[in-house]
Chain A
Amino acid sequence: MTSILLSQQQKQEETREEPRPETKPATRCEACGLGFNEFRNKGLLGCAECYRAFEPALGPLLQRSHEGGGEHCGKVPSRAGEAMGRLQRLSHLRKELAVAVEMEQYEEAARLRDEIRTIERGPGAARGVAGDDA
């Protein structure tokens, strides 16, 4: 039974791993209104959100123009680092939660859910909880 569940889980993981190629590139950035064709003509993006909106098309483009380096490697703003650390922890916990639910480990699932909610509330809330524990 467990092995069936696990293989099921793996299948889900696999399908979850590759949503990018299926995502159609947006033709317009909703935040600033820049059209993809306008970007093509001018070579300039309109705002930070354009990177998200045009990500499927930008990814390969950037990989070519930066000689194969498609992912950032270098300085990370320290506060963005905190935020990113939180985001990474969140996505990890969400995966664990999905597995725990699948495995019917309800106590573990409840604990994970609490932890996720705390993190979702932000850094201030997390500090508050730590204070309560002390």
Chain B
Amino acid sequence: MTRQRFHDHAEWLRGDGEGSDVVLSSRVRLARNFAGFSFPGRADSEERQRVAELAREHIQAIGVDPGLVWMDMEAIGNDERTVLVERHLVSTQLAKGKGPRGVAVSHPDERMAIMVNEEDHLRIQVIRSGIALSEAYESINGVDDLLEERIDYAFSRRFGYLTSCPTNVGTGIRVSVMLHLPALKHTGEMDKVRKASKAMGLAVRGFYGEGSEAVGDFFQLSNQTTLGRSERDLLTGFERDIVPKIVEYERLARKNLLDRRRAFLEDRVWRALGALQNARLMKADEAMEHLSQVRLGVVSGVLDQTGLTAAEVQQLLLFVQPGHLQKARHRTMDQAERRLERARLLREALGRAG
């Protein structure tokens, strides 16, 4: 097979780390606000500008390694903002918002991003490949400490870190893992996972978080409670109990498919690869569904002979997104054009260019 290599350095595309056959990435984010300023939703443009300037100054002064690059949301174009959303570096809300706002991104690893003037003054996030929540927390906690030396955070003894939305108040922490659960989805056990998660106060969301559908068997699992529970307690629950259990269920379901229904599994995986290698028009969601099957084929050994890696498949998950597709082709395209170009890009990447 002749394949064109697409390379990307985003942390969550690395495809390695503990449990990476099931867990794409671990993410921790903290919501923080400056004392003495209205929250962004209530502040006028002038106040938001002051917060943005202060935030930028403090973020640049803390000197993390690698350095953080500041991007002013008002100064960059719509296509660039879309790319940032697709890379999980900013939320749709920040991209589509109005007024002074921005993001500081650690370059080039993109492990850390600090959104300024989203729903809160600061939304700090750290992403790691595989199961690495404690590591992500250590990193984010360190940066939070450095910022806190310079900034008076809005904090109360009773309610903890004060946030614009009361559902984030307290620790202001959101812990989440991006899971690939094609076997559980296939066996119909995803409903059980959803119910169990809900009972534990966790939310199950899609690839692009809040409000997004679970396309291609990718699910984001995150906490909903931030008040009355410590960061450590929450992380331990995730890392010791919840995530390993789901990983175990998914692995068991995959093993059952391999042992008992191998022909069925192989057929699904190879058909998906065939569609990606031959299609002439491809929607983003359809591409993600196929790439999900191919990823399952790669990590379960079904596609060993192709030499494909999980990292390559994950990169394609990103490159089929509208913003990245446009970036790769250096132009803005309408939906019909994107479908044509997406199919072409996939053929180039997976070796049936023609």
Chain A interface (Cβ < 8 Å from any Cβ of B): 32, 34, 42-48, 51-52, 55, 58, 61-62, 65-80, 84, 87
Contact = CB atoms under 8 A, between A and B. Distances in A.
10 contacts: A45-B39, A48-B36, A48-B154, A66-B167, A70-B227, A74-B171, A76-B155, A79-B148, A79-B152, A87-B157
Contacts of A32: 38, 42
Given A62-B227, A69-B170, A48 B33 contact: yes
Minimum-distance CB pairs A-B, first 5: A69-B228, A72-B160, A46-B42, A48-B154, A66-B227
Given A72-B227, A76-B155, A47 B38 contact: yes
Contacts of A44: 39, 41-42, 119, 164-165
Interface residues of B, number: 43
Contact of A75 (B36, B166, B169, B231): B231
B38 A74 contact: no
Interface in B161-192: 161-167, 169-171, 173
Q: Would you call the interface of chain B mostly helix, strand, loop, or mixed?
A: loop
Given A32-B42, A43-B165, A48-B35, A80 B228 contact: no
Nearest to B41: A44
Contacts of A68: 228
Contact of A47 (B39, B167, B225, B227): B39
Contacts of B169: 51, 62, 72
Interface of B: 33, 35-39, 41-42, 119, 141, 144-145, 148-149, 152-167, 169-171, 173, 201, 225-232
A73 B157 contact: no
Contact of B201 (A52, A67, A71): A67
B155 A70 contact: no
B160 A74 contact: yes
A47 B37 contact: yes
B153 to A, nearest CB: 5
Given A44-B41, A45-B164, A72 B201 contact: no
B229 A48 contact: no
Nearest to A87: B157
B37 to A, nearest CB: 7
Contact of B225 (A66, A77, A79, A84): A66
B166 A62 contact: yes
Contact of B227 (A71, A75, A84): A71
A70 B159 CA distance: 8
A48 B156 contact: yes
Given A43-B166, A79-B149, 8 more contacts: A43-B165, A45-B163, A46-B41, A48-B33, A66-B225, A71-B158, A73-B230, A80-B153
A67 B157 CA distance: 19
Nearest to A65: B167
Contacts of A78: 145, 148
B166 A61 contact: yes
